[in-house]
Amino acid sequence: MRPKSIVLLMLALGCGVVASLGINQVMSRGTPVVSANDTDMVSIYVAMKDIEINDLVTPEALKLEPWPKDRVPNGAITKLEQLKGRRARQKIFAGEPVLEQKLLPKGEAGARPTDHVPPGYRVVAVRVDAQATGGYLVKPGDRVDLIVHMKKNPARNVLEETTRTFLQNVKVFAVNSEYTEKNGQKVITAKTVSLLVTPEQAEKVTFASQLGKIVLALRPPQDATKVHTTGVTVRRLLSPSWSSGPPLPSAQGGSSGKTTSVAQVGQQVSQLLKLFKDPVVSSADKASQKEEEKEADEKTKRKREKPWRITLLRGEELEQLQMVDFGVFQSADAVSADDEEDADEQEDANEDDLADSDDSEQDS
């Protein structure tokens, strides 16, 4: 290489080094480095994942992140107490600061009725009318017992007409489409009543609605006692021994005379039912009944299977043996004689029984 070229190359390298140093100095002067200690930082809550509308804002979905004080947006949440029991008014995206204007007030839910359903519960609707709701007295929040009336249906294992309480102390979630009680509203014309129940209770309510008609019985809100009931049938309803519950106090402090007369009528009806159930049987009927039983026994004996028999050849004579027990054989003639003797004894015993019945008839 020529000396002149080497000099030019060295001169170009020197100019490049000087230019780079100058540029670095200018840039360092124009943007001074500021440490974190020189700037005020504020910790705010930021969403770690998307929070949908009406979702409860929980600490698991948030993180505390430091932000420069001059970049913190208005309404940013800085304390966890500010989020307790609150839901999202708008969708909050992951990495977005949680702002006051994007949250519903504490304890307030969105417009969806399902937001009022506690975890582990279900809402099931029952078709009702004025009679089934106590004259339209049922309102959201009331407590009721569920009674089902089933007509006789052997195909569904309902052997007789029955009324029974199958659920107690159930909370009314909504009446028609109203799940909150309105101020000043006294009566709601109910067509459907939605009940707050467990999944198992929801199955019972659905099944009972298919078997018969469901009636709601209002109960005091302070009474959570569950009473065991066995249901009511026609026979139990007419029985005087059936208890209809504690008597209501009268104005004079005692019971009226009508209660006694109703009990007497119930006693008479019970006696009549007993006569129909257990009719009087005459002596002649008893004798004919014994004759029928005797004939049935004889038919049964005739229908018995024939015993096992074998024939043995002893010299020039044939002998028949009959099996009287497993592996035990006896002469067929001896067995027949024993059977005839047993039959005679049985016949004598039957004649004695018949004579005793005749004597009892004469005595009566």
Q: What is the pLDDT of residue 21?
A: 79
Choose between 307 and 357: higher pLDDT. 307
Residues 6+ apart with CB under 8 A from 51: 57, 61, 88, 91, 92
| pLDDT of res. 215 | 93
Residue 138 has what pLDDT?
86
Res. 150 pLDDT band, cuts 50 70 90: very high
- The pLDDT of residue 194 is 92
Amino acid at site 310: I
Q: Give the three-class secondary structure for 125.
A: strand
Among 76-85, 140-149, 332-341, the least confident range: 332-341
Q: Where are the beta strands (DSSP E) in 23-161?
A: 41-47, 62-68, 122-127, 143-150
The confidence score (pLDDT) of residue 18 equals 77
CA dihedral 91, 96, 102, 106 (to 10 degrees): 100
In which band, very low, low, confident or very high, does the pLDDT at 276 lie, cut at 50, 70 and 90?
low
Q: Are 221 and 171 in contact (CB under 8 A)?
A: no
More confident residue, 78 or 290: 78
pLDDT at residue 349, as a whole number: 63
Read off the DSSP letter of residue 105: P
The candidate with the shortest Cα–Cα distance to 131, out of 222, 179, 193, is: 193
Q: What is the pLDDT of residues 65-95, one digit of tens each?
A: 999 988 899 999 999 889 888 888 888 999 9
CA 133 from chain centre, in angstroms, equals 21
267-274, long-range: CB within 8 Å, 24+ apart, which pairs? 267/240, 269/238, 270/238, 270/239, 270/240, 273/235, 273/238
CA distance 161 to 152: 5
- Higher pLDDT, residue 146 or 270: 146
Q: Which domains does the chain have, with CATH numbers?
A: 38-102 (3.90.1210.10), 114-229 (no CATH), 236-242+262-279 (no CATH), 284-363 (no CATH)
Q: Assess whether pLDDT exceeds 90 at residue 107.
A: no
**Residue 254 binned pLDDT confidence (cut-offs 50, 70, 90):** very low
**Residue 252 vs residue 79, higher pLDDT:** 79
Predicted local confidence at residue 8, as pLDDT: 76
Nearest to 59 by CA among 71, 69, 68, 47: 47
Q: Could you tell me what percent of the chain has a pLDDT over 70? A: 63
The confidence score (pLDDT) of residue 251 equals 45
Q: Mind listing the pLDDT tens digit for each residue in 218-238?
A: 999 889 899 998 899 988 888
pLDDT band at residue 325 under the 50/70/90 scheme: low
Distance from C-alpha of 169 to C-alpha of 223, rounded to nearest angstrom: 8
pLDDT at 148 over 90: yes
Tens-digit pLDDT profile for residues 23-68: 777 676 655 454 545 568 999 999 999 998 778 899 999 999 999 9
What is the dihedral angle through the alpha carbons of 261, 263, 267, 273, rounded to the nearest 10 degrees?
Answer: 110
Better pLDDT: 322 or 111: 322
Average pLDDT rounded to a whole number, residues 279-293: 65
- Distance in angstroms (rounded) separating the CA atoms of residues 294 and 275: 28
- Per-residue CA distances from 77 to 21, 102, 210 (Å): 47, 11, 52
How sure is the predictor about 126, in pLDDT bands with cuts at 50, 70 and 90?
Answer: very high
Length of the chain measured in residues: 364
**Better pLDDT: 322 or 269:** 322
Place of tokens 């005087």: 240
Mean pLDDT of 128-139: 78
Pick the closest to residue 162 from 173, 148, 174 (CA basis).
148
pLDDT (average), residues 284-302: 70
The whole-number average pLDDT for the span 122-138 is: 83
Identify the pLDDT of residue 201.
95
**CA distances in angstroms from 144 to 90, 120, 124, 218, 350, listed in the order given:** 37, 20, 14, 5, 65
Tokens representing residue 13 in the block: 């390298």
Q: Is the pLDDT of residue 352 over 90?
A: no
Top mean-pLDDT range of 179-188, 261-270, 318-327: 318-327
Distance CA 52, CA 89 (A): 9
pLDDT at 256 over 50: no
Average pLDDT along the chain:
76
